[in-house]
A and B are shown apart, each in its own frame.
Chain A
Amino acid sequence: GENVEQHPSTLSVQEGDSAVIKCTYSDSASNYFPWYKQELGKRPQLIIDIRSNVGEKKDQRIAVTLNKTAKHFSLHITETQPEDSAVYFCAADPGGYQKVTFGTGTKLQVIP
């Protein structure tokens, strides 16, 4: 089955700096890679996703890059703000009848 590793587990940055979270996956059949943000006590919510036919996708301060050859993808947050503080999960989805596999999460703290 799919195995997703996510690093780092915790990340502290100063407000205005950039944050990068990296994930690797094992199943070459995975073709969809979403990122979820979970604020304390809340449900995870999708913030950005990328499909295998795209190498990079950007939405304002958030961007995701995908390297299918190396089987890794990354989340980039620029100009971080205190409200970016949360736990971020990556995931890999092989589609078909296979389940989505989540990474173990990264707790991001943005220090004002």
Chain B
Amino acid sequence: SQTIHQWPATLVQPVGSPLSLECTVEGTSNPNLYWYRQAAGRGLQLLFYSVGIGQISSEVPQNLSASRPQDRQFILSSKKLLLSDSGFYLCAWSRGLAGASSYNEQFFGPGTRLTVL
């Protein structure tokens, strides 16, 4: 069976500090991977998605970046955090078909709750 891991679960960081959130998927290969941010009481904002190693699409210009160094690893980073970066960060995966979406369910990780002070 497939599982998705995210860490850390919670994080409190000062403004201006760097960030690295990691997401890994087990039990599948060549998944589509996604990073979402959810502000308190708000919807899901897609930040990045990837259909393969080294292939990253950015949805929102900001001080965040993403990388996919391995097939089932997705990393969200920042060099300098802003107050507005606080939120609930969710990683998700879906089955890809030859690198393309095949109309499939997204499976979300447990999330990382980030507070920037």
Contacts and interface: CB of A to CB of B under 8 A. Distances in A.
Interface string A82-96: 000000010001011
Nearest to B104: A32
A99 B109 contact: no
Contacts of B46: 99-102
Interface stretch (B12-20, B65-73, B76-84, B94-102): B94-102
Contacts of B49: 99
B105 A104 contact: no
B43 A97 contact: no
B44 A93 contact: no
A44 B91 CA distance: 11
B101 A95 contact: yes
| Chain B CB within 10 A, most for which of A43, A51, A89, A101 | A43
Nearest to B44: A102
Report, as a range, how many residues of chain A touch the other chain: 20 to 34
B105 A43 contact: no
Contacts, number: 56
Report, as a range, how many residues of chain B touch the other chain: 20 to 34
Contacts of B29: none
Nearest to A103: B43
Interface string B17-61: 000000000000000001000000111101001010000010100
Interface of B: 34, 41-44, 46, 49, 51, 57, 59, 90, 94, 99-106, 108-111
Given A93-B103, A97-B51, A97-B99, 10 more contacts: A43-B109, A43-B110, A44-B90, A93-B101, A95-B101, A99-B101, A100-B46, A101-B46, A103-B43, A105-B44
Interface of A: 31-32, 34, 36, 43-46, 49, 51, 89, 93, 95-105, 107
